[in-house]
Amino acid sequence: MEENVKILVVSDDELIHNEVVNAIPEPNKVQIVEPKDVAREIHRDVCDVLIYIQPIAEDAVESIQYIKAISPDTLVIFVAKNTDFLLLRNITKAGVTEFFIYPDEISLLINRLPSMIKAYEVKKNKKEDTVSYLSKGRGQIMSVFSGNGGTGKSVLASSLAQTLKLESTAEVLLIDLNLQFGGMETLLSIESNRSLADLMPVMEELNENHIRNVSQRLESSKLEILLSPCDAEVAESITDAFIAKLLRTSRRSFDFVIVDLPSYLNSNVVTTLEESDRIFYVLTPDTPSLHVLKQFEETALRLGIELKSRTSILFNKASKENEIQEKDMKELLRFPIISSVRWDHKGLQPYVNKGEPVRKEEKEKRLTPFAKDVRKWSLSLLK
């Protein structure tokens, strides 16, 4: 039987711990103890996740050292009441995995807590079908681009983001950089008047909190999405400096930042490509697409965008009926083909027309060929 995660909240501050406890999803067991009783509790029972709220009298550093000595696998999260760098350094040395400053970062903790617990649970139960993705410090920016319109960039970017979120414990953010006309709001039926343009006024001090306040969360996968302003005039006012800042801030808090791009180059798109760790160029099996790819390569060279180390080809709308097959393409390409997605009109169209996400559950009963191929691509990125 799978075990739930046992969570211990160490606190002498009811106001803070009430906020934290409310954010812990069912059916995890939560217990609250006073700082002076924590040593006894650690001996009494297993503790998977310990949330330590900075106490008034007790020595937190010593207490955490003790907890980690008795129970080294416990994940310790610290809530500090002020930015005391010496304390924060010492608690980190003592074995705290993450700390949050109260009150500024409490909403961050509340947002992240469910996925932190989930990641721990996956590790504990060694679930094989969910990849326990542990953050590696800085997240990866992955852009989906193509010089041709209608190749499938948006459906691919959105399905990739949903799949990564559902099949791993990674934090995923999807950004729609089709600034003029958008697209994600229709593809995923999101009604909202918030868009990434709302972050422009706070550009200088932009942080994760701002991003999560503006992003929309998909109910089914809990994927966070930053929508496009869908407004040509607003789009005009978005600068490449803002885009760079947005991407850099996003990668600090998300493991994967998936960017859906339009099919032309302007300074915002160039900046995104330059900031990207990986570029997936969507290629459909036809000669015009190949020509455009060559042109893109030449332009990138002139603009000084380094492609070789980070670009791979995502072959989309593949079908046996195509005159040009993957193997014919291979010889003409300078980049590796990372994955191939089948032409799946029957499977994909109903989702696109209804504005429904392609992936909604971790263990989907029946995956369409399109979703299956995207899954294969996604899992290759989690390795």
Q: Which does 182 bind (CB under 5 to 8 A by kind): ligand ATP, Mg ion, none?
A: none
CA–CA separation, 87 and 106 (whole Å): 18
Shortest distance in whole angstroms from residue 145 CB to ligand ATP: 9
CA dihedral 270, 273, 274, 276 (to 10 degrees): 160
Instruction: Among 148, 154, 162, 195, indicate the residue that binds Mg ion (CB under 5 A).
Output: 154
> Judged by CB, which is closer to Mg ion: 183, or 285?
183
Number of other CB atoms surrounding residue 380 within 10 Å: 10
# residues near Mg ion by CB under 5 A: 3
Contact predicate 94/63, CB 8 Å: no
> Judged by CB, which is closer to Mg ion: 153, or 375?
153
CA–CA separation, 140 and 172 (whole Å): 10
CA–CA separation, 317 and 249 (whole Å): 34
Q: Which does 211 bind (CB under 5 to 8 A by kind): ligand ATP, Mg ion, none?
A: none
CA–CA separation, 184 and 225 (whole Å): 9
Q: Which residues contact 160 (CB under 8 A, 6 or more apart)?
A: 142, 144, 258, 374, 377, 378
Would you tell me which residues interact with ligand ATP (CB under 6 A)?
A: 146, 149-155, 178, 183, 262-263, 316-317, 341, 343-345, 348-349, 352, 370
> Judged by CB, which is closer to Mg ion: 334, or 345?
345
Shortest distance in whole angstroms from residue 316 CB to ligand ATP: 5
Q: Name the DSSP letter for residue 285.
A: S
Residue 146 engages Mg ion in binding (rule: CB under 5 A):
no
> Judged by CB, which is closer to ligand ATP: 105, or 176?
176
Q: Which does 276 bind (CB under 5 to 8 A by kind): ligand ATP, Mg ion, none?
A: none
Shortest distance in whole angstroms from residue 64 CB to Mg ion: 48
Q: Which does 355 bind (CB under 5 to 8 A by kind): Mg ion, ligand ATP, none?
A: none
| Burial (Cβ within 10 Å: 0-12, 13-18, ≥19) of residue 39 | middle
> Judged by CB, which is closer to ligand ATP: 35, or 262?
262
> Judged by CB, which is closer to ligand ATP: 153, or 359?
153
CA–CA separation, 149 and 178 (whole Å): 12
The CB-nearest residue to Mg ion is 154
Residues that bind Mg ion in the complex, under the rule CB under 5 A:
153-154, 183
